[in-house]
Structure 1
Amino acid sequence: MSQDPYDEVKADVLTSLSQLHQLAGTISRLSRSGASDPLGDGDSELHRATAELEANLRTIEPDLEELDESVAAVAEPGVAARLGISDREVRARHDFVERVKGEVAAIRRQIPSQTVSPILDRKRHSAISAAYPPSYHTDDAREGGEDTADDPNAAFEAQHQTLLLEQQDRTLTDISGTVGLLREQAQLMGREVWEQNQLLDELDQHVDSTSSRLAKAQRRMDRFVRENNSTSNWLIFILMTALSILLFIILFV
């Protein structure tokens, strides 16, 4: 029987997904703190985190495809039964793959708003500063620019928090499913233990019955031996008496 690759690939996907969420949180934190690239050479911490996030996305996608192919193969008629996988487990695997796909897609959608928007905002402010004197920059314009720069970060943070909550919900669901499977196994083990106890009770009854019959047979044998011993003693006494009389007659008559 061929080995099911689902568990191994799932572990790799979960590891990559955890790294993606950590990097997404780092990008969100750096965006809120106003991390920038003063030299404009793309070597800021924010850009490095974004590049690492994109690299991890490229890494997780092949694993996700392999996991999807594994789930599709198990879903083929007769394959799950041959591998000993229940229909519930097949549905759980399919839901897991779809959930991870959604989280990866959501994280990927947030990359442009985190990397392009701050740069464009800085270029826009530089162009305004070059075209107009400082006196032309009203407070309303500055507030509008700040709102424009902050909105993508706030949206990313909100969606990132939503993804984290959804991941926690899915994790709790997986844990609940695992607990359910453990409960079913415990019930099955309980039934098996009860059946074993029933068999042991029946065996004890058979042993007691056999012991009782053996005791009765032993008592009968003892009584038979005692009776035979008494009869044998009388026969020996009679034979000895007869032999004595016969010997007396032969010798003295």
Structure 2
Amino acid sequence: VQKAVNTAQGLFQRWTELLQDPSLATREEIDWTTNELRNNLRSIEWDLEDLDETINILPANPRKFNLDATELGIRKTFITSTRQVVRDMKDQMSNSSIQALAERKNRQALLGESGSQSWSCGPDKYSRLDRELQLANSHFIEEQQAQQQLIVEQQDEQLELVSGSIGVLKNMSQRIGGELEEQAV
């Protein structure tokens, strides 16, 4: 989990650099970094949930696991602090994305077309607005497609886990069935 957190922090640092100066990279790199960071943060959250469930089992039988209260406290503290780190990164991603988008739109408005063209009348009067709407729509569609792709990938991973569990259960039931047949004879 710590290694995954370190990876996520590296991605987060790169993502922050890219947002501060979008000229450093292509749109694809920014999108890739954003998606990888989101995936890593989700994965860490799932790992933390698993660790939390495991730690909640430990107090029932501490001797079996050879853990004292101090070690248990250290592990709980690790989970809590790691959750906070992940939460902070996710919060900053939400806020930074919104701020970066607003700054980009402001720059486009200020550096866009020249003043004489933006005040013109006729059929070109709304062409800039149309282009901005189309651009915003295409970005929205791209983000939605990326999120849907992430959901599909996560579902595939979950199906693989379920498939593995079913395989284990099948194997165990066959062994139990075999033992019952042996005992019946």
Query: Paired residues, what number?
Result: 116
Deviation at 1:91, TM superposition (A): 0.7
1 CA distance for matches of 2:100 and 2:24? Answer: 10
In the other structure, the counterpart of 1:106 is 88
Alignment of 1:55 with 2:39, yes or no, is: yes
Unaligned 5+ runs, structure 1: 1-12, 135-253
2:15 paired residue number: 27
Contact 1:27 1:114 in 2 (8 A): no
TM-score (norm 1): 0.41
- For residues 111 and 82 of structure 2, the distance between their equivalents in structure 1, rounded to whole angstroms, comes to 44
Residue 5 of structure 2 aligns to a residue whose secondary structure is: helix
Change (3 A) 1:65 1:26: same
Quick one: distance in 2 between partners of 1:129 and 1:35? 16
The 1:36/1:116 distance shift into structure 2, 3 A limit, reads farther
Match of 2:102, as an amino acid? L
Within the candidate set 133, 136, 143, 2:115 is matched to: 133
Tell me how far apart the structure 2 counterparts of residues 31 and 128 of structure 1 sit (CA, whole Å): 19
CA contact under 8 A between 1:36 and 1:46: conserved in structure 2? Answer: no
Aligned match of 2:48 in 47, 58, 64? 64
List, as ranges, runs of 4+ consecutive aligned residues in structure 1 with deviation greater than 6 Å: none
Query: Could you tell me the percent identity over the aligned residues?
Result: 23
Alpha-carbon separation, structure 2, partners of 1:114 and 1:16: 22
Deviations 1:93-126 (A, max 9, x none): 1111111111110111111233332222121232
The equivalent residue for 1:16 is 4
Q: In the aligned structure 1, how far is the partner of 2:47 from the partner of 2:8?
A: 14
Alpha-carbon distance between aligned partners in 1 of 2:59 and 2:75, rounded to the nearest angstrom = 10
Give TM-score, length-normalised by structure 2: 0.54
2:108 aligned with 1:118 = no
Instruction: State which of 58, 62, 79 in structure 2 corresponds to 1:80.
Output: 62
The alignment partner of 1:75 has SS state of helix
Mind listing any 5+ residue stretches in structure 2 that lack a counterpart?
Answer: 117-185
Aligned CA distance change for structure 1 residues 133 and 113 (closer, same or farther; 3 Å): same
Larger radius of gyration: 1
Q: CA deviation at 1:80?
A: 1.1
